[in-house]
Structure 1
Amino acid sequence: MGGAGDTIAGDDALIRFEGIGKTFGRVRALDGIDFAFMRGECVGIAGHNGAGKSTLMAVLAGVHAPTQGRIEVDGRDAPHYDANAAREAGVRCVFQELSLCANLTVAENMCIVHPQLHGRGWRRTATRLMREKLEEIFPGNGLKGNELVSDLTLTQQQMVEIARGFTVNDTPVRLVILDEPTSSLDAHTAEQLLAFVSKAAQGGITCLLITHMLGEIERVADRVMVMRDGGIVSVLPRAQSSRASIIQAMGQHLEADKTPGATQSQAARSTERHFRWNVGVKRHTPIEAARGEVVGFAGLAGQGQTEALLAIYEAASRRGPGRAKVAFVAGDRGRDGVFPIWSIAQNLDVRWLAGGATRRRGLVDLAAARAVVEAWRLKIGIRGAAMSAGILSLSGGNQQKVLFARALASDADLILMDDPTRGVDVGTKRDIYQLVHDESAKGRTFIWYTTENEELSHCDRTYVFRSAAVTRVLHADECTEEALLAASFEEQAA
């Protein structure tokens, strides 16, 4: 199925895959992958959640041994290609699920992937290397290198993980895998990263960019590998790698953008059920949301949006003004979202059970629970494993779907969403947008923090945050890229 993959011939291949397949039990994750990763190019990799992208990259990083096929490195056969061989070949990986140790400092985390950093002065050397690379990729980031990772925001952790992947110590960096690298970055830091990726590729480093942000692929990729069902279905040269052509190769129809939520939720909105909360770290900021309204949170990442959502969740859960039945869709699913030792079904129906699920003689109605799980599995398209399988058997995007389904399957009339479409493919995003509009039309209220500014077109109003306070409130017709950028750098509330 992957025979269309390699369209470039010659001796300039850094690593070449021929007929690579990978199975996990009865599940075929990769099927006949043929592809040559050339020196000094940027390859964009697109596909649905569960298409095999992360598995392919795990094989390239030496984490998984292929079930079949052969791998060449620098034109020579590599029959025992593993993590050590990949590292010697100069392969580095920034996985979608961050691998930092939260109880260590930024500098100490350097030693995990650079064990040569030891002896007298290792901490000073590790700190210097990290600070230099962070400043090169993300100028003005403000990190010193001695911070505890658990004290960093998700955006800062993503920046550290990326910088660590590009840092050179004992062996040259020749190929860097970036799996959804901008999923936790705001528009400004994402722009910095893309500029650096282009520069790195021009300097001879092969960069692999896996992302559902197709505009990013369109901007920086020399070639685009499109995957579906474990195989490569198309490889597009730069001249043909438009967003529309990528979507077409993925097997989706390009539809017109959905109408902004302002027009779709108007019928259900009622001032009889008007929520109001005072949130903010530096000063109290009133946040208002009417029944059936979709309210957006925007601004540069780490400016207090998640903290505001958590404050609203706490206030809505207490007795008194602003109280509501509330559900929360976490952005950092690894830390705050999934229960890693539970099954997919248990992760999905836990909020439904907590909300007073149907009971028979005081016991949970298991038939009703199974019906809820199956209905939402079909509704939101959770694929990749049986619902009885562990949640970690799913791809990151499908795990995010489970978190979203968990919230909507509940009895909550207020849904708080902390960047819920991180790592979700373009088709699923459209389904989620439609679900938000449908549910808001039924009277549910959504408060939606997103790092993707284009998603704010689905919101009735948007609160723009700067330094843990709201600088502007933009209505749907005012929410342009220019207005968002200006408000993101304002210090005083308008």
Structure 2
Amino acid sequence: MIDNIESKQSASPLIRFSGIGKSFGNVRALSDIDFDFLAGECVGIAGHNGAGKSTLMAVLAGVYTPTDGRIETHGTPAPHYDADAARLAGVRCVFQELSLCPNLSIAENMCVVHPRLRGRGWRKRASTLMRDKLAEIFPGCGLSGAELVSDLTLTQRQMVEIARAFTETDTPVRLVILDEPTSSLDAHTAEQLLDYVRKANARGVTCLLVTHMLGEIERVADRVMVMRDGKLVRILPRENLTRDAIIQAMGQHVDVANAPRDDAASHTAREQATRDYRWVIGPHRRAEIDASRGEVIGFGGLAGQGQTETLLAIYDIAQRASRDSVAFVAGDRARDGVFPVWSIAQNLDVRWLGRGGMTAHETADSAGSGHSKGLGWLIDFKAARALVDTWRAKIGIRGASMQSNILSLSGGNQQKVLFARALASNATLILMDDPTRGVDIGTKREIYALVRAEAAKGRTFVWYTTENDELAYCDRTFVFRSRRVTRVLHAGECTEDALLAASFEELAA
């Protein structure tokens, strides 16, 4: 591996960044970035939310024109580097926020980025290209290319976006930017992608892996760019690549040891407690979920096995029962989470919408807690500002005024706002659909601590995650396969092997 990298470094770089900077008004997003992107390597890019990773990738993809510095492609200066120049250089990108058109089929979405697919029989050619590439990257995915994107799960849309980027129609693919590509994939599908990345590298394709999954970077990256506050602070070579080294370079002092477990006494007490919630989902009682107050329930298994649908069904039941207030943290923030034309503050405190303000009970509860309050359609804006300021400090939203548009935040910081919105509510039942997608490791640990602290106060959490490590923070985990629960694992039983076995367990007839 090391000899291979040395030979790559002796060749002319595919793309060279020299002194690259990018400003948005008075906000300095990137400063003095120097880096050579070499053919046939995997470059990991790490950093906390708002460190400048996505901005740097947007410059590389030609979406943003740098304010400072120069770019060379194949050793030739590119003074007018834009999206067309990037495409001619062989650059493709899978952005963190998916860009598929939901009203079009998979094949039709191919034509959006591959305009050469036209003329007689274009639809068949596009479907064949996508079907073959999907089968190459994600064997057994079962997609034909004719499906309507709006009918796909979030995981399937992520797979389509990745396959589309690696597909060649006119210019060869030389460099693929993968911005949080596994954030919507389960462990099995993510493994398939990482295997394909190494195969692509062996063919001379460069892959840039922007991810908060440090284990993935540790496994496949030849070099790692570590960013902080818009600057490239460290380049870690393969031989010095460890998770601890990456975290140290990021400047985040977090404990990455095993997740804390409940002590035996509290676990036994919870087991003996009467279940406060019980939900029966679907025909033939395909999923029966129960929970106690103060319990954190996990949903595990391969992606697309009915976990999100079960969460939505529980939300619908809870809303109709009106026994307890319920909040939902959406995993697909672009489609189901943020209000894109609103400010950060408005997105955080929207609970009064369509409800005529708060109830008298909520108004009383909010006193002294930082919750915004209202009477009828009148809103106490002073209390609303206090709530926003409180939760901004708690979850560490950086880089923008709370009055700025929500889309001015990085994807990870947008996800923090959705999480804060749920916790800032008076909900006693909180449903979370893969809530830490695109969130950096330091913030994740803070979120885990908040969840446990709120559970200790009596709030109940039902938490679907595609990251098996996160299930260690749950008291019990319901493992799904084909929309049914195959096994319930307690905290001490929730190992990678047990989860994998339950994910593929044969269902009873």
Q: What TM-score range do you get, normalising by the shorter chain?
A: over 0.9
Q: CA deviation at 1:362?
A: 6.0
Of the three residues 409, 425, 429, the one matched with 2:444 is 429
Q: In the comparison of the two structures, how many residue pairs are matched?
A: 485
Q: CA deviation at 1:12?
A: 2.6
Structure 1: stretches of 5+ with no match in the other structure? 1-7
Which residue in the other structure is 2:37 paired with? 37
Which residue in the other structure is 2:160 paired with? 160
Question: Are 1:398 and 2:413 an aligned pair?
Answer: yes
Of the three residues 362, 373, 385, the one matched with 2:388 is 373
Q: Is 1:274–1:291's contact at 8 Å kept on the other side of the alignment?
A: yes
Q: Is 1:11–1:75's contact at 8 Å kept on the other side of the alignment?
A: no
Which residue in the other structure is 1:484 paired with? 499
Query: What pairs up with 1:60-79 in 2 under 5 angstroms?
Result: 60-79=60-79
In 2: Cα distance, 1:455 partner to 1:242 partner? 20
Whichever residue aligns with residue 122 of structure 2, its letter is W
In 1: Cα distance, 2:187 partner to 2:121 partner? 37
In 2: Cα distance, 1:262 partner to 1:484 partner? 22
Which residue in the other structure is 1:363 paired with? 378
In 1: Cα distance, 2:95 partner to 2:286 partner? 37
Query: What pairs up with 1:35-434 in 2 under 5 angstroms?
Result: 35-255=35-255, 256-260=257-261, 271=273, 274-280=276-282, 283-319=285-321, 323-351=323-351, 356=359, 357-359=372-374, 363-434=378-449
In 2: Cα distance, 1:282 partner to 1:424 partner? 37
Q: CA deviation at 1:11?
A: 3.6
With 259-268 and 189-198 compared, the bigger mean Cα shift is at 259-268
Residue deviations 1:48-106, cap 9 Å, x none? 00000000000000000000100000001000000000000000000000000000000
In 2: Cα distance, 1:137 partner to 1:361 partner? 54
Whichever residue aligns with residue 498 of structure 2, its letter is A
Residue deviations 1:259-289, cap 9 Å, x none? 1357697599594671111014664321000
**Structure 2 SS opposite 1:48:** coil
Which residue in the other structure is 1:3 paired with? none
Change (3 A) 1:46 1:281: farther
In 2: Cα distance, 1:138 partner to 1:264 partner? 44
Whichever residue aligns with residue 180 of structure 1, its letter is E
Q: Is 1:282–1:469's contact at 8 Å kept on the other side of the alignment?
A: no
Q: Is 2:218–2:241's contact at 8 Å kept on the other side of the alignment?
A: yes
Structure 2: stretches of 5+ with no match in the other structure? 1-7, 360-371
Give the TM-score taking structure 1 as reference length. Answer: 0.95
In 2: Cα distance, 1:352 partner to 1:493 partner? 45
Q: Is 1:261–1:459's contact at 8 Å kept on the other side of the alignment?
A: no
Q: CA deviation at 1:9?
A: 5.6
In 1: Cα distance, 2:79 partner to 2:207 partner? 24
Computed over aligned residues only, the root mean square deviation of the Cα atoms, in angstroms, reads 1.9
**Structure 1 SS opposite 2:488:** strand
Change (3 A) 1:215 1:361: closer
In 2: Cα distance, 1:281 partner to 1:58 partner? 46
Change (3 A) 1:264 1:176: farther
In 2: Cα distance, 1:307 partner to 1:262 partner? 32
Which residue in the other structure is 2:475 paired with? 460
Q: Is 2:52–2:231's contact at 8 Å kept on the other side of the alignment?
A: yes
Question: Are 1:444 and 2:459 an aligned pair?
Answer: yes
In 2: Cα distance, 1:263 partner to 1:214 partner? 31
Q: Is 2:286–2:483's contact at 8 Å kept on the other side of the alignment?
A: no
